[in-house]
Structure 1
Amino acid sequence: MERGGGAMRYAWVAAVLLVASVQLAQAWDGAVVYFGLAAALGFLALPLRRLVPAGLAGIGLMAVAMAGGYFAARGAVPGREPTHVLLDTVPRLLTAARPAPATPELLVPGLLLVFGVAVATVLSVAKQRTALFVPALGAAVLYVSAALLTAGRADRYGITALVLVVLLALGWLIIDRRGPVVPPAVLATVLAALTLLTIVLPANGFEPRKLVTPPVTNVAISNPLPRLAAWAAQGEAELFRMRGPEVPVRLVTLSRFSGASWEAASTYGPLGVVDPPDLPTGGKFQDASVDLTITGLDGEWLPGVGTPQSVSLSNAMVDPDTGSLVMADGLRTGLSYTVRGVLETPADTDLAEAAVPTDTRYTALPRLPFTLAEYARQATQNARTPYEKAVALEQVVRLNRRPDAEAPVGSSYARLETFLFGNPGESGAGAGTAEQFASAYAVLARAVGLPTRVVVGFQPVPDQGGERIVRAADATAWPEVYFTNWGWVAFDPVSGNGSGPSAASKREVLNRLASSTAKPTPTTPASVPPLVQPAAVNQENVAAPELRQGFPLWTLTPVLLLLALYLARTTRRVRLRAAGPVGAWNEVLDSLLLAGSRPHPSRTAPDVGRDWGAPGTELATMVDEAAFAPAPTRAEHSWQLARQVKKSVRRKASWWRKLLWAVDPRPLFRRR
């Protein structure tokens, strides 16, 4: 190999590896540099192979890389042997967020894959007589891995696949003029099929992470609602700092109400769990990413924004239904991380006629007192739509009631009745923290069939930019109502503002309902049954979430691979048939390889031909004549002889070799 040709070949390999590595790096957040470096380190095999055999060089480099991967990931799985630590990184990656945080234990499997492909590719092209097939195989492995880890989102339109096909074709046509073992058209077809699969599969519900059962952890964490009064008393105490857009920071979402208190979920898993929330995300939303640093906040709840999509902490866990984040080991001062979430942003016109789902756990009210149920009914009796009911209840809860940081805590039915109906002078009557305002709204909303939950979080004070300090006084709680097709919408019964519908939209509804002056009155408990269940929502306003199921097209992948191998073998037979007696003899040698009877390289063609009778002897004579004493080509006759020998060889083959005869890839790698 000439120096110029060698440099061109390695430059071509570097380009193929770079494109494929960047494609795979999209499965991680900000990991392009790491994967590019891993691909570059694969070229260490070149100087090493001059000292030791190529195979030993490859094994040595992979051993060093795996040792490095063990030391990088062992902190995530303490007290385990190296093999278990490395194997454990794969399910950890498959149950991480998408894209996965660029933490050591999550990067290890991807970096080892890129490094291994790079080493194998570099060592293969270092052989002067080796066709450039391994780079194509390595690029396909990295491409398919990226498609699996991103569910096809890494190359939605097949642009990267097209670039890889062009690079491979240039390498085969310009650098290696002998041509590849597999024709470019065949490999291009395979890559095109893979690209099509990565585009079609996600749309049909395919999710490769379902192949791994995510770990689930039971976490017993106290309800932070009663802490609102304590935080209000702390006032200016700093809890954490944040950089990013001015959006509410969520600490925990409470979805279960027992009648005595609100409860958070107790089962959490990695952020990448594939189970969707019980109520889908709305049709309009925006992404928000914030950087957070814990400075004084304690406990296990991890502040976030919206519905979390990714967190730069590999040990963060989430409740997929509510998006609440927890750290089982607890928060620590100085903990810094980035969280990216989705905030639902429906327009006022979207909510005006929106429906709500029915028969959800977000409307459950165990042993609801009649006083609360009747109060909610009176407050919404003139409302036409679920949105009008939600706006009316926000106004009703706020009227003639005041925030008081020193009011009694609690969100039980008894506490809420005192808050709503208590006599003047009674402790907690008409006064409460955000806990009572949000809880009263949520209970009344559920009583009229609105799916509702309570969020504990922070409303940071806006500033002119830069880093914002979130203090204890910023802690609050607010209710959210779910609208079909539009998701969870926040309401603010404390001030009537907040990040939900606009004030103009609410004012228009209130003017129409005149609910700002019509105050509902509680029914005397002695005159009615003590307990009732809330009435169901009018079915005209109900629209259940749609469930879509698609055919799992990933099951066709083995069929496509077998089809590709069959096409490759067919292409090879066509080329051999056009090569005359020499091609016919190579067809016989392919058959012997498939039957497990490959002759020793020292045996001559006539010697091998005599093993298969007159057809084999005649064909061997024709091959010798074509090689040493060229005679007129007798392509058809030589191919007929080859077919007779092939039948004899196949009859003596085992049943399982006959089963794989048409798709066995070994003849593709046999040099003629």
Structure 2
Amino acid sequence: MERGDGAVKERLSALFVLLAAAVPGLLFAPVFGLWPLVLPIGAVLVGVYVAVELGLRVPALVSWRPLVGLVLGLLAVTWTELGATTAAGIPTGSTFRALADGVTRSWQLTLQSTWPARPDAQLILFIPLAVLVAAVLGVELRRWALAALAPSVVLLGLSQAYLAMSGRDAVLAALGFALVAGGLLAVSREAREHQATRRVGALTLIAPTVVLAVAGALVVTWADPVTPAISLRQNQSVPLPQARYTNPLDEIAERKLKPAAPVFTYRSDAPVELWRITVLDRFDGATWLPSQNYRWMGATIAPTGAVTVPVKEFSATVQYPHPDGPWLPSQLLPYAVSGVAPLIDEETGVLQLNGKPAGPVDYKLSWREPVISGPELNKRGIDAHAESGLGGVGAIPPTLSDIAEKAVGNRRASFQTASELSRFLSKNYRLATGKNLPTGAGLPQLQAFLEQSHIGTSQQFAAAYVVLARSLGIPARIAVGYHGVPPGPDGISVVHNDDVFAWPEVAVEGVGWVPLDPTESAKGATSKSSGGLAAAAAAARDSLPPPDQLEDPELPPTPQASAAQGGRRSIEVPWVVVAVVLVALILLVLFSVPLLKVVRGRRRRRLTGARGVVAAWTEARDLLRAHGVPVTSGMTVRELAEAARPFGDSLHAALLRLAELVDAVLWSGGAAPPEAVPAAWASVKQVRKGLAGRGARHRVRAALHLDSLRPLGLPTIVGSRASAGRLPA
């Protein structure tokens, strides 16, 4: 019987260890999504449990259990994630190389990806491998329950270092891990009864502390939802290959000389205004350069917090037969790409491959576009917190600053000011045509364009606009790409060299980056009737009053002004936080206290001989303590029976029979008869039956009575054997 109980305890402790390893593995869900993690993690845990079961059935395998668990776990990872590298399910050299990459590279590739990341094996592999290590180590350390939890705690810290949870999810995760840890402590093979009771106080303090700590994170999130969580992902980007490509901004004039040459084709579900190839936001006075903050494109990209207006979603399939560089036609806010695995700069929406492609590229692009009208745009301020657009522009000649002031006067920076600057350039400068097109976008070329020739390509228009806008405090940058074009009879739009275009973009509060066209060269799908963001910007410019009638838009009220108008701002109580914490603590009490009493009772029932009879007496004593009977460690069984007389004659009689059994086994001079222990526990059963007649209120209060878990010491029994400490409480 004891051997069977030992096997059950082995299995239970192994299951709790495996669950403890699974919880932090599943907490990588914000990185990959939940369901891509379930199968590989579940398969790994099954493999490790099979190793535990083999050790129970074949004792000779116990010493080999760690190796068996690792092998079965690696096979589980192979069959769930690396099936394509196997030969009929048998690992190959490619499999072992992929597993090695899972240890050395996949964790880093994940940090260099947008989230949720693509659940590809080359990225996700490190998670089931980490769960495997935590599970195998935990199983082998089960003799020391806290040590068995240590590998899972380390993995838990790693998951939170990738992306720390907060709010309700953090509370639920903490509760789940605390319950699993409590279960492991309760069935730990090393824990004896008195050790378990000593841990009760610690357990009932640790679990609520964990809950309250995570609830504190929820309060912080509620109080300051803007501050992002700290993550290892910060400042991580993909190192780009050292290859030289012609800057697309410098190719505009050359492409205009071969206007009929096709570049790429696309089929879209709505008219497309602009296709971007690259965005240039760094300028030293001579050269415009793009940012280099690229990540691997994940499964999807969540909407950016900078855009608070409504958005629409669009998609298009793109065929790019002869790419001139690594860049792919893209949009401002792409959120999904299929057909290729590109890099993305999330701030600019630029897509590019990791190196120049060797052949044609076909892919599907899905993107979001803000929806706002022209008049509403003119009411918006600029976004002073934009991550780019306010960099240096070199030493601007005073004459260029004079032109900027002439264009907008002394008005403060806003989208209306930005729109007026675009109108100024479109009215006073002309778009160059013909074969002798001007080139260059450094300060000398821009000074010649703005002060002398007044004629330039979109390259000079866009660069001049950005320099003037930044001198006025307006965040601006250059985008280079192509005009969208109407589809042909077959529904396919063909983009040619003649559609090449450079345009400025300004950062608008709540809208994001808005494209402007100071050349007024919009055509085809980029007409004012297309309804896109570029069309809204054109409508905003057309709705401006004459320059001498322009007025600054009203500023939104500051928090101080709002407080002054509305009195002292009251702080709303986060009732959701309070409710979650209270419910969590109630569940902890309702679950942990009765469970620990059940576990303690089962431990006592497994004792035999005189120890088993005394354990039955101790159980009866603790039952009466929970129901309010005043009990001291010096009371005898008969004294307790007299104290419990108000609970009924049957209960009193059961305690007297138990007293006779205790005296008999302790003073018989020989071993306790086999029937003594069952008879003692039968008396305990009668005590339970007598107490069950009390009202529901008394029974619930007794079940949750925490003090009855406190060790009271050994009961006093006539004689010296118990007081000598040989018998357990």
Question: Same fold per TM (> 0.5)?
Answer: yes
Q: CA deviation at 1:27?
A: 5.8
The answer as to whether partners of 1:238 and 1:470 remain within 8 angstroms in 2 is yes
Q: 2:366 & 2:465 partners in 1: Cα distance? A: 29
Comparing 208-217 with 262-271, greater Cα deviation is found at 208-217
The reply on whether 1:417 has 2:439 as its aligned counterpart is no
Q: Residues 484 and 269 from structure 1, CA distance in 2 versus in 1: closer, same or farther, beyond 3 angstroms?
A: same
Q: Which residue of 2 aligns with 1:585?
A: 604
Q: Which residue of 2 aligns with 1:388?
A: 416
SS of 1:455's equivalent in the other structure is strand
Q: 1:545 & 1:492 partners in 2: Cα distance? A: 35
SS of 1:374's equivalent in the other structure is helix
Q: 2:111 & 2:46 partners in 1: Cα distance? A: 30
Q: Residues 340 and 91 from structure 1, CA distance in 2 versus in 1: closer, same or farther, beyond 3 angstroms?
A: farther
Q: Residues 330 and 640 from structure 1, CA distance in 2 versus in 1: closer, same or farther, beyond 3 angstroms?
A: closer
Letter in 1 for 2:115: R
RMSD over aligned Cα, in angstroms? Answer: 6.3
Q: Which residue of 2 aligns with 1:644?
A: 713
The answer as to whether partners of 1:294 and 1:334 remain within 8 angstroms in 2 is yes
The reply on whether 1:450 has 2:474 as its aligned counterpart is yes
Letter in 2 for 1:456: V
Letter in 2 for 1:356: I
Q: 1:202 & 1:467 partners in 2: Cα distance? A: 48
Letter in 1 for 2:263: L
The reply on whether 1:90 has 2:107 as its aligned counterpart is yes
Unmatched runs of 5 consecutive residues or more in structure 2: 1-24, 58-64, 87-91, 136-151, 177-207, 527-532, 561-573, 619-632, 638-660, 667-671, 692-707, 717-721
Q: 1:270 & 1:628 partners in 2: Cα distance? A: 71
Q: 1:437 & 1:298 partners in 2: Cα distance? A: 24
Q: CA deviation at 1:493?
A: 1.2
Q: CA deviation at 1:299?
A: 1.4
Q: Which residue of 1 aligns with 2:188?
A: none
The answer as to whether partners of 1:450 and 1:481 remain within 8 angstroms in 2 is yes
Q: Residues 111 and 576 from structure 1, CA distance in 2 versus in 1: closer, same or farther, beyond 3 angstroms?
A: closer
The answer as to whether partners of 1:254 and 1:454 remain within 8 angstroms in 2 is yes
TM-score by length of 2: 0.55
The reply on whether 1:404 has 2:469 as its aligned counterpart is no
Matches within 5 A, 1:133-282: 204=225, 205=227, 207=229, 209-210=231-232, 214-217=236-239, 222-244=246-268, 245-247=270-272, 248-270=274-296, 280-281=306-307
Superimposed CA distance per residue, residues 586-643 of structure 1 (whole angstroms, 9 cap, x where no aligned partner): 5xx8xxxxxxxxxxxxx7343688999999995998996462466543579xx89974
Q: Which residue of 2 aligns with 1:573?
A: 596
Letter in 2 for 1:304: S
Match of 2:76 among 51, 65, 68: 65
The reply on whether 1:355 has 2:381 as its aligned counterpart is yes
Q: Residues 146 and 61 from structure 1, CA distance in 2 versus in 1: closer, same or farther, beyond 3 angstroms?
A: farther
Matches within 5 A, 1:69-80: 69=81
The answer as to whether partners of 1:294 and 1:332 remain within 8 angstroms in 2 is no
Q: 1:279 & 1:410 partners in 2: Cα distance? A: 36
Q: CA deviation at 1:116?
A: 12
Q: 2:125 & 2:28 partners in 1: Cα distance? A: 13
Q: Residues 242 and 504 from structure 1, CA distance in 2 versus in 1: closer, same or farther, beyond 3 angstroms?
A: closer
Q: 1:354 & 1:250 partners in 2: Cα distance? A: 24
The answer as to whether partners of 2:260 and 2:496 remain within 8 angstroms in 1 is yes
Q: CA deviation at 1:478?
A: 0.6
Q: Residues 444 and 565 from structure 1, CA distance in 2 versus in 1: closer, same or farther, beyond 3 angstroms?
A: same
TM-score by length of 1: 0.59
Report the structure number with the largest CA radius of gyration.
Answer: 2
Q: CA deviation at 1:572?
A: 1.8
SS of 1:478's equivalent in the other structure is strand
Q: Residues 364 and 78 from structure 1, CA distance in 2 versus in 1: closer, same or farther, beyond 3 angstroms?
A: farther
The reply on whether 1:469 has 2:486 as its aligned counterpart is no
Q: 1:106 & 1:73 partners in 2: Cα distance? A: 15
Q: What fraction of aligned residue pairs are identical, expressed as a percent?
A: 22
Match of 1:508 among 543, 553, 565: 543
SS of 1:227's equivalent in the other structure is helix
Letter in 2 for 1:644: G
Q: Residues 477 and 198 from structure 1, CA distance in 2 versus in 1: closer, same or farther, beyond 3 angstroms?
A: farther
Q: 1:252 & 1:543 partners in 2: Cα distance? A: 37
Q: CA deviation at 1:575?
A: 4.1
Match of 1:370 among 395, 398, 411: 398
SS of 1:371's equivalent in the other structure is helix
SS of 2:713's equivalent in the other structure is helix
Letter in 1 for 2:451: F
Q: 2:340 & 2:481 partners in 1: Cα distance? A: 23
Q: Residues 560 and 92 from structure 1, CA distance in 2 versus in 1: closer, same or farther, beyond 3 angstroms?
A: farther
Q: 1:347 & 1:290 partners in 2: Cα distance? A: 24
Matches within 5 A, 1:105-116: 105-108=122-125
Comparing 456-465 with 282-291, greater Cα deviation is found at 282-291
Q: CA deviation at 1:491?
A: 0.6
Q: Residues 35 and 299 from structure 1, CA distance in 2 versus in 1: closer, same or farther, beyond 3 angstroms?
A: same
Q: Which residue of 2 aligns with 1:606?
A: 610
The reply on whether 1:317 has 2:340 as its aligned counterpart is no
Q: 2:501 & 2:95 partners in 1: Cα distance? A: 39
Q: CA deviation at 1:459?
A: 1.8
Superimposed CA distance per residue, residues 195-239 of structure 1 (whole angstroms, 9 cap, x where no aligned partner): 999988876456474467634526666532011122223333333
Number of aligned positions between the proteins: 522
Match of 1:434 among 458, 468, 472: 458
Q: 1:25 & 1:640 partners in 2: Cα distance? A: 38
Match of 2:359 among 324, 327, 333: 333
SS of 2:77's equivalent in the other structure is helix
Q: 2:168 & 2:483 partners in 1: Cα distance? A: 36
Q: 2:47 & 2:582 partners in 1: Cα distance? A: 36
SS of 2:439's equivalent in the other structure is coil
Q: 2:677 & 2:96 partners in 1: Cα distance? A: 68
Superimposed CA distance per residue, residues 561-600 of structure 1 (whole angstroms, 9 cap, x where no aligned partner): 99987865422234468xxxx55825xx8xxxxxxxxxxx
The answer as to whether partners of 1:416 and 1:440 remain within 8 angstroms in 2 is yes
Q: 1:468 & 1:191 partners in 2: Cα distance? A: 58
Q: CA deviation at 1:250?
A: 1.6
Q: 1:103 & 1:344 partners in 2: Cα distance? A: 31
Superimposed CA distance per residue, residues 406-444 of structure 1 (whole angstroms, 9 cap, x where no aligned partner): 31210122212322332xxxxxx3433211121122222
Q: 1:309 & 1:545 partners in 2: Cα distance? A: 34
Q: 1:206 & 1:575 partners in 2: Cα distance? A: 44
Q: Which residue of 1 aligns with 2:700?
A: none
The reply on whether 1:627 has 2:684 as its aligned counterpart is no
Unmatched runs of 5 consecutive residues or more in structure 1: 1-20, 119-137, 163-188, 423-428, 516-536, 590-602, 653-672
Comparing 229-238 with 453-462, greater Cα deviation is found at 229-238
Q: CA deviation at 1:314?
A: 8.5
Q: 1:80 & 1:243 partners in 2: Cα distance? A: 40
Q: CA deviation at 1:61?
A: 4.3
Q: 1:112 & 1:545 partners in 2: Cα distance? A: 50
Superimposed CA distance per residue, residues 307-341 of structure 1 (whole angstroms, 9 cap, x where no aligned partner): 34454589643444434333332233233344444
The answer as to whether partners of 2:241 and 2:355 remain within 8 angstroms in 1 is no
Q: Residues 299 and 266 from structure 1, CA distance in 2 versus in 1: closer, same or farther, beyond 3 angstroms?
A: same
Q: Residues 314 and 401 from structure 1, CA distance in 2 versus in 1: closer, same or farther, beyond 3 angstroms?
A: closer
Matches within 5 A, 1:4-153: 28=32, 61-67=72-78, 69=81, 82-86=99-103, 88-108=105-125
